[in-house]
Amino acid sequence: MSSTTAKSAFWLGLRAGAPFLLVVIPFAVLFGVVATEAGLNIAEVMGFSVLVIAGAAQFTAVQLMTENAPVWTVLAASLAVNLRMAMYSASLQPHLGSAPFWRRVFIAYTNFDQSYAVSILKYEEAPEWSVPRKTAYFFGAVSVIAPSWCAFTFVGAVTGEAIPDSLALDFAMPILFLAMVAPMLKTLAHLAAAIASVAFALLLAFLPSGIGLLFAALAAMAVGAEVERRMGRP
């Protein structure tokens, strides 16, 4: 594949990822505010966003830390919330698994909700794309999202007290996930999996933080797979 084609794929990915900034930015600012209010200093807050780079798990960990939960509970709950990344990785493997090792390392580091949602949609639309082009598209998507997540976490950490409560930055989380999921509901199996995930998440809401969501995700995958089986799809 020519470098021109790789470059065009990169810019396509960047343009596809850019709209997520509308919710990633307030979400990142909110985390910076919440984490500093929980007692973390700026270095600790930035360590969270740079090393973990997974918003839901970061919020889960900070919430449990403010409740003086044991360290093992914080780690287990955060891991449970982040186990969806393993599902993302399994889904991306047929598309990116043969990429060079250093690229796969970077993909694993930046494999979060937005980068996965943007990339898998494009890969399904363009199955003829080569691995280098798919890799370039993924890198384009994360090149705008990941730095913004870290930068605006810092903004929230240093200016948190100056942000009025009336802004209600917590609106960003539900909008973010709706924006990612809605375009992916293309078939009856997708819709059945989405409905099942909501139903099981509500039924299992009494479980410790993150555990119910993990079981709901597994149940949703089973429902989606069963619907596809009954429809005669592989």
Most confident of the following: 153-157, 175-179, 220-224: 153-157
Q: Are residues 198 and 226 in the same domain?
A: yes
User: In terms of domains, do 189 and 118 share one?
Assistant: no
Same-domain pairing of 117 and 163:
yes
| Residue 151 or residue 216, greater confidence | 151
Which of residues 130 and 27 earns the better pLDDT score?
130
Q: What is the pLDDT of residue 163?
A: 60
pLDDT at residue 1 tops 50: no
Long-range contacts of 217-225 (CB under 8 A, 24+ apart): 217/83, 217/84, 217/87, 220/193, 220/194, 220/196, 221/87, 221/193, 223/192, 223/193, 223/196, 224/189, 224/190, 224/192, 224/193, 224/196, 225/189
User: Does 192 have pLDDT greater than 80?
Assistant: yes
- Using the predicted structure, report yes or no on whether residue 168 has a pLDDT greater than 60: no
Q: Are residues 138 and 36 in the same domain?
A: yes
- For residue 48, the 8-state DSSP code is I
Average pLDDT over all residues of the chain: 82
Residues 51 and 120 in one domain: yes
For residue 60, is it within any domain?
yes
For residue 55, give the H/E element and its range: helix 55-66
Q: Are residues 67 and 147 in the same domain?
A: yes
Lowest-confidence region among 2-6, 176-180, 184-188, 203-207: 176-180
Residue 142 has pLDDT above 90, yes or no: yes
Average pLDDT on 176-183 reads 60
Predicted confidence (pLDDT) at residue 95 exceeds the cutoff of 90: yes
Does residue 174 belong to any structural domain of this protein?
no
The 8-class DSSP code of residue 233 comes to: -
The pLDDT confidence band at residue 2, using thresholds 50, 70 and 90, is: very low
In a domain, 146, yes or no: yes
As a whole-number percent, the residues of the chain with pLDDT over 70 amount to: 83
CA 52 to CA 128: how far, in whole Å? 33
Under the phi-then-psi rule, with left for phi > 0, alpha for psi from -120 to 50, and beta for the rest, what region is 132? alpha
Tell me, what amino acid is at 229?
A: R
Looking at residue 208, its pLDDT comes to 66
Report, as an integer, the average pLDDT of 130-134.
93
State yes or no: pLDDT of 57 exceeds 50: yes
The whole-number average pLDDT for the span 98-127 is 90
194 and 114 housed in the same domain: no
Local confidence band at 176 (pLDDT 50, 70, 90 cut-offs) = low
Segments forming the whole domain that contains residue 189: 185-234
Q: Is the pLDDT of residue 114 over 70?
A: yes
User: How many domains in the chain?
Assistant: 2
Judge whether residue 181 has pLDDT over 80. no
Model pLDDT for residues 61-90, shown as the tens digit of each residue: 887 787 777 788 778 777 777 777 888 888
Task: Give the integer Cα–Cα distance in Å for 174 and 191.
Answer: 18
